[in-house]
A and B are shown apart, each in its own frame.
Chain A
Amino acid sequence: MPQARGPVSTNLRKLISNQHTEFGVDLDAALRATDDVLQDDDLQLALFMAYELRYSGLQGIDDDWEWHPEVLALCAAIERLFEAALRERVSLPPLPAPDVESVAAALFELTGADSGPSVSRFLAKKATDEQAREFLILRSIYQLKEADPHTWAIPRIRSRAKAALVEIQADEYGGGRFERMHSELFARTMRGVGLDAGYGHYIDAVPAITLASSNMMTMFGTHRRLRGATAGHLAAFEMTSSQPNRLYGNGFRRLGYDANVTFYFDEHVEADAVHEQIAARDLAGSLVTDEPELLEDVFFGAAAGLYVDGLAGAQQIDAWTAGHSALRVPEYLDLPA
């Protein structure tokens, strides 16, 4: 159970631990008070906790809270603000014709033009051992449940696009072999550098933007309305993965780690070179061909993924370049009432 980061996450904790019978915070006031929902620790943590009830659950918390009206209302209120902020701040490329060729070409152009600061180049050339571990800690929030947020879309789409998504996800889950599941490979990398690979172990150490990156995927995945954004997000993720993973692997090799630690990254160089083709054409392209009204959301999901992960990466590089930790220093003490 994560530490609270403000009034909303504090009261959500109390509600689902049965210490309160109602939410008891003026949520509208809390939402109005935030100047940036993407960087708001309290709101992103509250949404993350509510979403975890949809995945592995929260330790000591009754699973019934997942569908409790107060928890769903909290999610809906934060999601409205979160999605509106993303739609306002993420700029879309000119939309192509709604066919496979045009959609794939436009996605390759969008992802190829991504020239933000590069965590992968920093890892490859400069990162210290401590910074490399911080990189793994930040990544662990998503990577220990790697692939799960996009899997929500499988029952929500049909036809060739569904088959393509299953083909990608089956590979993400190691073709059904536990020890090859990508989340498990990531856990092996964490253990190899002496980190705790327990799910959620480092939740209190990650900043709001890391939670926002994970929350965005869950928001896209658990809303059927946003299935186009899930497809676009996965496509952009896969299309910007092969070469960065080669550099991550090189970074850990430079720091003296062996194949046990680098296997996760080396595996992704090969896997994502397969996945990006399937995701761009057979998933995103086929989905838009079947449902042309999803065209804009496919590009919204792709561009939002690049935008949020670009912000998170820039924050990491700024901290490391200034000689600071990229991890969060807890400021808000969850004092007993």
Chain B
Amino acid sequence: MIAPDDDAADIPAAGADEPVSITAYPNGPLLVRGPFEIRTPTGVVIPPRRKTVALCRCGVSSLKPFCDGSHKAIGFRTEPEPPAPQPPLPA
């Protein structure tokens, strides 16, 4: 048996108290983990098909609110583009 440990308070419990986390993946969707519920505007719960879901943030998914990978085809960017090289100043 493992003795109770103060550090354990930092570890999210795998239960009702577990916080929902949303991770923004660069140039891609939002991944949602935890005890979340997704609803339509009228409050109907959309049954989740998996524990971790990816929510569309580029707007072109055919499965909204879920991601279908379409962001790659349209070159969706969430990160600033590296600055274009500046032309040298005239002497």
Contact = CB atoms under 8 A, between A and B. Distances in A.
Interface of A: 101, 104, 108, 112, 167, 170-171, 175, 241-243, 246, 267, 269-274, 276-278, 281
Interface stretch (B4-12, B13-21, B25-33, B35-43): B25-33
A281 B69 CA distance: 15
Contact of A273 (B51, B69, B73): B69
Contacts of A112: 72
A246 B62 contact: yes
Given A270-B63, A277-B31, A242 B68 contact: yes
Contacts of A241: 69
B70 A274 contact: no
Contact of B54 (A101, A267, A274): A274
B71 to A, nearest CB: 9
B72 A271 contact: no
A171 to B, nearest CB: 5
Contact of A243 (B28, B66, B70): B70
B29 A273 contact: yes
B22 to A, nearest CB: 13
Contacts of A101: 26
A171 B50 contact: yes
A171 B52 contact: yes
Q: How large is the interface on B (under 10, 10 to 19, 20 to 34, 35 or more residues)?
A: 20 to 34
A176 to B, nearest CB: 10
B63 A167 contact: no
Contacts of A104: 26
Contacts of B29: 273-274, 277
Contacts of B49: 267, 270-271
A276 B49 CA distance: 17
A165 to B, nearest CB: 13
Contact of B66 (A108, A273, A278): A273
B28 A277 contact: yes
12 contacts: A112-B72, A171-B50, A243-B68, A246-B62, A269-B68, A270-B49, A270-B50, A270-B54, A273-B67, A274-B67, A276-B69, A277-B28
A275 to B, nearest CB: 9
Contacts of B72: 108, 112
Nearest to A276: B69
Contacts of A246: 62, 68
Given A171-B51, A269-B63, A277 B68 contact: no
Contacts of B27: 108
A243 B50 contact: no
B25 A277 contact: yes
Per CB-CB distance, the 4 closest pairs between chain A and chain B, nearest first, are: A242-B69, A273-B67, A274-B54, A273-B69
Nearest to B32: A274
Contacts of B54: 270, 273-274, 277
Contact of B68 (A175, A270, A281): A270
A76 B54 CA distance: 41
Nearest to B63: A270
Nearest to A112: B72
